[in-house]
Amino acid sequence: MEGVDHLADERKKAEFNVEAMKIVWAGSQHNLEVSNRISKLVADDPAFRKDDRTMLPRKELFKNTLRKAAYAWKRINELRLSEEEASKLRFYVDETAYTDLHWGMFIPAIKGQGTDEQQRKWLPLAYKMQIIGCYAQTELGHGSNVQGLETTATFDPHTDEFVIHSPTLTSSKWWPGGLGKVSTHAVTYARLIIDGKDHGVHGFIVQLRSLEDHRPLPGITVGDIGMKFGNGAYNTMDNGVLRFDHVRIPRNQMLMKVSQVTREGKYKQSDVPRQLVYGTMVYVRQRIVADASCYLSRAVCIATRYSAVRRQFGSQNGGPETQVIDYKTQQSRLFPLLASAYAFRFVGEWLEWLYTDVMQRLQANDFSTLPEAHACTAGLKSLTTSVTADGIEECRKLCGGHGYLCTSGLPELFAVYVPACTYEGDNIVLLLQVARFLMKTVSQIGTGKQPVGTIAYMGRIEHLMQCRCNVQRGFAELSADLVEAAVAHCQLIVVSKFIEKLQQDIPGEGVKQQLEALCGIYYLSLLHKHQGDFLATSYLTPKQSALANDQLRALYSKVRPNAIALVDAFNYSDHFLSSILGRYDGNVYPKLYEAAWKDPLNESVVPDGYHEYVRPLLKQQLHTARL
Ligand SMILES: CCCCCCCC/C=C\CCCCCC(=O)SCCNC(=O)CCNC(=O)[C@H](O)C(C)(C)COP(=O)(O)OP(=O)(O)OC[C@H]1O[C@@H](n2cnc3c(N)ncnc32)[C@H](O)[C@@H]1OP(=O)(O)O
Ligand SMILES: Cc1cc2nc3c(=O)[nH]c(=O)nc-3n(C[C@H](O)[C@H](O)[C@H](O)COP(=O)(O)OP(=O)(O)OC[C@H]3O[C@@H](n4cnc5c(N)ncnc54)[C@H](O)[C@@H]3O)c2cc1C
């Protein structure tokens, strides 16, 4: 019934202060206040309706996204929202759009790789959205292998310009978000050619479309690459294709913080690592880790609330059937994901600190932690997106048949999220970077260089020092095993940061105890999943492994009465969750039934096509039956 909280009894079971946990999840009282205010602003505005997305044809869907982005920008300016509040508003609008890449990559690329003069010129235009930018790196033929990119930027000393060109079909830029129909400019990655010499990949600001009539400029061929996975989902984004036919740009539009080209055509490499040209990717990877906890927590919130509402089997003497959340199988699938959502939240907070620390060190020309920052951002982006994508799908399955309905919110959540395993770096390619970092660390053990930070534990690998085995032995041959080692390394970081979080002062009755239980579930479920490795290496005895499994089950029982309160602490509105199964009030069945009749297919009792295609069959059947 309307207005009744069908989960009230569950909420009464909570053994901790939910409001205090909301602050832990939000990161601070201030963050919680801003989230509450902006979330309500979006949820209460019908212009931000999103329950129709999966039913709109693509052109209508895309125009609707442009409308929402323009309206959001209007509200941001009308309300004079800060950058933090504006970012929150785009988050709660919850629709992938060209603005993601404008704010999330185009501007960071100029800030990270542009000189002060270039920043002064381009950032004000971008902040006012007088230009709209994208990040054009990936090509039809190369994405992972950045050094294999083919687009060229040839310096012309006669005109003090670069000539940007797509020499082959495979050099066509392919995938950049916002490129297909909207962006006026791109940070484009191309091979710098001076006097016939190839200096490798660098970033260039290139205007793509007229600011007068939005038509592509001379030499520019640009469009959308077509429909992607799922209805709605990432099809609100215009991922594009772009080709250059000898497009000329001024020399000062090469991003020159990391390296420069003088008027005379002399190439100068600053005394900074060339990998800083990859800096924007490092920035986005650390943001994607924080984002993983948001997506995973949304799916877990839906599946947990529905698991408390859904009853199946177990009725005693005509009494109510058993809540499926009480089945140990449901708990063993759901609670590790609940624990992972919290774990990723905290490792995301730490990674943001690490990234900020590295950026401050770079200011002082201290590059000592850049390799660790690369390994951590690459590895944690890989780990958290893989677990989150698989976790959203598991949450769909945890909801049975109703999880497959669009009104559950889970199919679209999965379709929007799953490319995160690929963009900003294919997850395996990134894990290989971590493996390379680990092997380099091992090779340095015994040379006096003690590992520090997230690899400090490797300093204790005595046996490797004794065997002095050839650490470069068959990297390619052992890469699958090394990827597993890289995953384990990243999981250790997540566990370590969860434990470090628990060592902080955490106010609120019962809050720390709940987080301790979730931390236990996180690492014991990993122990259970990988117990073969621990047993094979004698790190665990069979008895210890059995004890760990017993403790894991005991923790499930400890979390069970708090499950609903733990997902309430995510503080997601029904609008943001956009899920009938995940409604705060648990009023699922009436709302599912109500929603079914709103489907366009039910606008007519007899479906279009009946008279052309069904009735003739039936009549034919009738005729045959009479014979
Ligand atoms: C869901 C949204 C969340 C919020 C985000 C908001 C904004 C985002 C909006 C929307 C989301 C969608 C965005 C998607 C955008 C994209 O996909 S952009 C394109 C992304 N492309 C990639 O990630 C390419 C992946 N490939 C690479 O990074 C590199 O090719 C490579 C690292 C795999 C190899 O590079 P290479 O130059 O060949 O290096 P190596 O020879 O392997 O290594 C040489 C040394 O350099 C070190 N290194 C490599 N990369 C970095 C780095 N980034 N930083 C620092 N150091 C690096 C490497 O460790 C080697 O060091 P050693 O020699 O010491 O071993
Ligand atoms: C939704 C979406 C949005 C995107 N947005 C942007 C954007 O805005 N800007 C942009 O520039 N790009 C963007 N991209 C492109 C994205 O960054 C690339 O697709 C991604 O980096 C993966 O590269 P790839 O496609 O070349 O994969 P590939 O590297 O071709 O991967 C194919 C397979 O090869 C394997 N593989 C590759 N190299 C190795 C190796 N050395 N060892 C072992 N296995 C290997 C991979 O693991 C994978 O299994 C986007 C992509 C998507 C899906």
Domains present along the chain, CATH in parentheses = 134-270 (2.40.110.10)
How is 91-157 classified by DSSP, letter by letter? HHHT---HHHHIIIIIHHHHHHHS-HHHHHHHHHHHHTTSS-EEEE--BSS-SS-GGG---EEEEET
**Could you read off the pLDDT of 130-179 as tens digits, one per residue?**
999 999 999 999 999 999 999 999 999 999 999 999 999 999 999 999 99
Considering the candidates 161, 394, 412, 424, report the single residue annotated as catalytic: 424
Q: Tell me which residue has tokens 């329950």.
A: 51
Band (pLDDT 50/70/90 cuts) for residue 230 is: confident
Greater confidence, 168 or 3? 168
Bridge-partner residues for 174, per DSSP?
241
Q: How far is the CA of 146 from the centre of ligand 2 (A)?
A: 10
Rounded distance, CA 376 to CA 494, Å? 10
Bridge-partner residues for 186, per DSSP?
134, 206
| Interstrand relation of 161-165 and 259-261 (parallel, antiparallel or unpaired) | unpaired
Greater confidence, 409 or 460? 409
**Could you read off the pLDDT of 180-206 as tens digits, one per residue?**
999 999 999 999 999 999 999 999 999
pLDDT value at position 627? 63
Shortest-distance atom of ligand 2 to CA 476: 42
424 catalytic per annotation: yes
Rounded distance, CA 403 to CA 399, Å? 5
Q: How far is the CA of 282 from the centre of ligand 1 (A)?
A: 7
pLDDT at 468 over 60: no
Whether residue 138 contacts residue 175, with contact meaning beta carbons closer than 8 Å, is answered with yes
In what helix (H) or strand (E) does residue 626 lie, and over which residues does it extend? helix 615-626
Whether residue 288 contacts residue 104, with contact meaning beta carbons closer than 8 Å, is answered with no
pLDDT value at position 471? 56
Ligand nearest to the CA of 434: 1
Band (pLDDT 50/70/90 cuts) for residue 619 is: confident
389 lines ligand 1 (CB under 6 A): no
Q: How far is the CA of 463 from the centre of ligand 1 (A)?
A: 32
Q: What is the mean pLDDT of residues 353-371?
A: 91
* Residue 260: Cβ within 10 Å count: 15
Q: Tell me which residue has tokens 């066509």.
A: 172
**Residues 145-167, buried b or exposed e (16+ Cβ, 10 A)?**
ebeebbbbbbbeeeeebbbbbbe
Rounded distance, CA 624 to CA 601, Å? 31
138 lines ligand 1 (CB under 6 A): yes
Q: What is the mean pLDDT of residues 113-127?
A: 97
Ligand nearest to the CA of 422: 2
**Could you read off the pLDDT of 54-86 as tens digits, one per residue?**
889 999 999 999 999 999 999 999 999 999 999
Whether residue 247 contacts residue 274, with contact meaning beta carbons closer than 8 Å, is answered with no
Rounded distance, CA 206 to CA 186, Å? 5
pLDDT at 574 over 70: yes
Ligand nearest to the CA of 283: 1
Band (pLDDT 50/70/90 cuts) for residue 474 is: confident
Shortest-distance atom of ligand 2 to CA 427: 47
Query: Which of 572, 508, 498 is CA-nearest to residue 16?
Result: 508
**Could you read off the pLDDT of 325-359 as tens digits, one per residue?**
999 999 999 999 999 999 999 999 999 999 999 99
Q: How far is the CA of 106 from the centre of ligand 1 (A)?
A: 16
Burial class (CB in 10 A: 0-12, 13-18, 19+), 128: exposed
472 lines ligand 1 (CB under 6 A): no
Q: How far is the CA of 282 from the centre of ligand 2 (A)?
A: 15
379 lines ligand 1 (CB under 6 A): no
Query: Which tokens is 496 given?
Result: 């370590």
429 lines ligand 1 (CB under 6 A): yes
